[in-house]
Amino acid sequence: MAELSDLELLDALGVEAKEEKKKKRTPKEERIIAGFEEIQKFVDDNGRLPAHGEGNDIFERLYATRLDQIRKQAECRDLVTELDHQGLLDGASEPVEEIPTDIDDDALLAELGVEAKTDDVTVLKHVKTRAEKRMVEEMANRTKCEDFDKFKPLFEAIQNDLDNGNRETKKFRKDAGFSKTDIKAGQFFILGGQTAYIAKVGEEFTAPNGQPDARMRVIYSNGTESDLLLRSMQRALYKDETSRIVSDPVAGPLFSGEAEADDLPSGTIYVLRSKSEDPYVSERHEVLHKIGVTGGDVNKRIANAKHDATYLLADVEIVATYKLANINRKKMEKLLHKFFDAARLNIEIKDRFGNPVSPREWFLVPLFIIDEVVDKIKDGTISDYTYDLEQVKLVKSKKA
């Protein structure tokens, strides 16, 4: 006897087999489910619920509000209960503005973070393109900065400079031509209400769109950090209407008065940072600076840095400049080098011809300390201070 199929067996038993039809979702239900799945992805990626607060990413705040409203609406809870493998519906909602129960579908969807368009009701306002999602995920993917103690003085010094007028912030304008190549290590930005410090810009690579890009280490004033791409940082700065760039230190001409025979009418103290990939140098990237004084153009002076052992045979970037007036340039440079002598870099490298060279103008000293020393020179009190290498700060000398 031939083996009966399942349907034939059911028929022989007098059981009518009915084809189960999949329940069709309404556009509104599809949107609510899609919104809930975005919240679930956030929880999976971050290991926590989205939270309210002005200091948080705009999308995290959106997800937090959306979750609160889903919890409150019985219709929404019933719709996503079977999907809630993380127990998101069990928590208590944050106190938020009450939503009337008699609002229409479009208004409810708007409160849930989605908006129906007249030409296509299946389009979600906050369903982002793949590229946008990557950018948002990168922005939200901040971790605790384990060595924040090293950077904290930088943020304190920046705030002090802003308070006393030594620095200023400038608003971004998309039509101003600011590009990702303008983002450099050592810069400070205001982004999402936090001060962001570009601690490192990694090796350049070619992105899928054929454009150059690089991975950065970005430290934030709240003690977190991220590894943003240059293009993601640029987009975030443009998207945040409150974003700003923090200017370099602005110091007025140091000392003015009658010029002596050996004085220069003008000059510049410059501070450089190396782009060398040498492990010893790159590990000390944030605190290793070349300090010099020149009467010419700094950019021209460093044009061939990668061929000059004085610059560690690598390209350099200018991180600060201070204008001089009626100052003996050689004496000023000697004063700065003597003051930071205890922090002088002790290294020997081979020049292009294989000869050993020991560069003498590189110092292991943070930029904010250099700023402070320039201020002391300006007000004439530099002789009252010494640089404490262990405490990383200026201290009153015993004779003062």
Whether pTM exceeds 0.75: no
Average pLDDT for 120-146: 54
Q: Bigger pLDDT: 256 or 78?
A: 78
Region at 282 (left for phi over 0; alpha for psi -120 to 50; beta for the rest):
alpha
The predicted pLDDT at position 363 comes to 94
- Per-residue confidence at 131, pLDDT binned at 50, 70, 90? very low
Residue 202 and residue 267: Cα distance in Å, rounded? 33
pLDDT of res. 256: 47
pLDDT digits (tens, 9 = 90+) for 144-198: 899 999 898 888 888 887 777 667 787 765 544 556 667 888 889 988 778 999 9
- pLDDT at 218 exceeding the cut of 90: yes
Listed residue (342, 377, 349) closest to 363, CA to CA: 342
**Residue whose pair of structure tokens reads 């993917």 in the numeric block:** 141
Question: For 237, phi and psi rounded to 5 degrees?
Answer: -65, -40
Q: What is the pLDDT of residue 6?
A: 59
Distance CA 180, CA 196 (A): 15
Contact residues for 238 (Cβ-Cβ < 8 A; gap 6+): 172, 174
Domains of the chain, earliest start first: 27-127 (no CATH), 139-246 (2.30.30.30), 267-396 (no CATH)
Q: How many CB atoms lie within 10 A of CB 151?
A: 19
H helices of the chain, in order, are 6-12, 27-46, 58-72, 74-80, 105-111, 130-140, 148-164, 230-239, 279-282, 298-301, 329-339, 367-379
Longest dimension (CA), the chain: 121
**Nearest to residue 137, comparing CAs of 44, 51, 219?**
44
pLDDT attached to residue 179: 61
Summarised one tens digit per residue, pLDDT across range 274-283 is 998 888 888 8
CA distance 382 to 375: 8
pLDDT at 344: 92
Contact call for residues 17 and 7 (beta carbons, < 8 A) = yes
Given a cut of 90, whether residue 75 has pLDDT beyond it is no
Give 257-299 pLDDT, tens digit per residue.
444 444 445 578 999 999 988 888 888 888 999 999 988 889 8
